[in-house]
Chains A and B, each alone.
Chain A
Amino acid sequence: MLSSLAQVLLSGLQIGCIYALMALGYFVILRATGILNFAQGEWMMISGVLGVVLIAFGVPYYLALLAAIAGAVLLALAAERAIIRPLQARGAPQPIVLLSLFGTMLVARYGTGVLFGRQDLPLDGPAGSGITIIGEANFIANQTLVVYAITAAAFFGVAIFMTRTWLGRSLRVASIDPLAASLIGVDLTRVRVVSFGLGALIAATCGWLYFPLYAVGYLNGSIPGIKGFIALFVGGMATTMGPLAGGLALGLVEVAASFYLPSIYAEGAAFVLLMIILVAKPSGLTGGKES
Chain B
Amino acid sequence: MTTATSTAATRLFIPNTAVGVIVAIALVIPFFGSTYHITLAVNLCVTLILTLSLNLVVGSSGQFHLSHAAFFGLGAYTSAVLAKTVGIPPLLCLPLSVLLVCTLALLVGLPTTRLRGLYLAVATLAFSLFVEVFVNQGGALTGGGYGIQDVPALTISGTVLSGRAFYPLALLLMLLVAGSLYGLMRSRLGREILAVRDHSDAAAAAGINPPVIRTLVLVIAAGFAAIAGWLHCFYHLALNASLVSPELTFVWFFMVLVGGIGNVRGVVIGTVLLTLLPEFLGVATGQTILGIGVLMIIVTLFAPRGLGGVLDDAIARFGKARS
Contact = CB atoms under 8 A, between A and B. Distances in A.
Interface of A: 36, 83, 86-87, 92-93, 95-100, 102-107, 109-111, 113-114, 118, 222-223, 226-227, 229-230, 233, 263-265, 267-268, 270-271, 274-275, 278-279, 282
Contacts of A103: 254, 292-297, 300
Contact of B289 (A106, A270, A279): A106
Contacts of B292: 103, 106
B250 A106 contact: yes
Contact of B301 (A36, A100, A110, A223): A100
Given A102-B293, A227-B129, 7 more contacts: A103-B294, A106-B290, A109-B293, A118-B286, A222-B247, A230-B122, A279-B111
Interface in B1-47: 1-2
Interface string B278-307: 000000001101101111110111001000
A197 B123 CA distance: 27
Contact of A271 (B127, B250, B299): B127
Nearest to A34: B118
B260 to A, nearest CB: 13
Top 6 A-B pairs, shortest CB-CB distance: A103-B296, A106-B293, A110-B290, A107-B293, A267-B133, A100-B300
Contact of B122 (A83, A222, A223, A274): A274
B139 interface: yes
Contacts of A267: 129-130, 133-134, 137
A278 B115 CA distance: 8
Contacts of A275: 111-112, 123, 126
16 contacts: A36-B118, A83-B300, A95-B1, A100-B296, A102-B253, A102-B296, A104-B293, A107-B290, A107-B297, A110-B287, A113-B290, A114-B286, A229-B126, A264-B137, A275-B111, A278-B115
B306 to A, nearest CB: 10
Contacts of B247: 106, 109, 222
Contacts, number: 124
Contact of B139 (A92, A95, A264, A270): A264
Contacts of A93: 1-2
B294 to A, nearest CB: 6
Interface string B106-129: 000001100100110111011101
Contacts of A264: 133-134, 137-139
Interface size class of B (residues with CB under 8 A): 35 or more
B246 interface: yes
Interface in B57-75: 64
Nearest to A35: B118
Nearest to A103: B296
A267 B295 CA distance: 32
B123 A270 contact: no
B216 interface: no
Contact of B137 (A107, A114, A263): A263
B151 interface: no
Nearest to A269: B130
Nearest to A232: B122
B297 A83 contact: yes
A83 B297 CA distance: 7
A8 B42 CA distance: 48
B225 interface: no
B106 to A, nearest CB: 14
A229 B250 contact: no
B94 interface: no
B246 A226 contact: yes
A36 B247 CA distance: 17
B268 interface: no
A105 B122 CA distance: 16
B50 interface: no
Contact of B297 (A104, A263, A268): A104
Contacts of A99: 253-254, 257, 296, 299-300
